[in-house]
Amino acid sequence: MNQNSQAGIRKKNIALNPETYKRLESLKANLIKDRQNPNLTYDEVINFLLDAGRV
């Protein structure tokens, strides 16, 4: 059992339209540049989008 399974963390795959994936990659590149953090994950990018959409 790996460390993630022990902590109760599960990974799920989602299918993205190729254009959506390109847009997500572009946003990730911009966030890496802005935050000066080359280790940014897609999870962090998606959380950024979700947080930005809150009213």
The per-residue pLDDT for range 1-55, each reduced to its tens digit, is 455 556 777 888 999 999 999 999 999 999 999 999 999 999 999 999 999 988 5
| C-alpha dihedral sign at 37, 39, 45, 51 | negative
In terms of Cβ atoms closer than 10 Å to its own Cβ (0-12, 13-18, 19+), residue 51 is: exposed
pTM of the model: 0.74
Strand, helix or coil for residue 14: coil
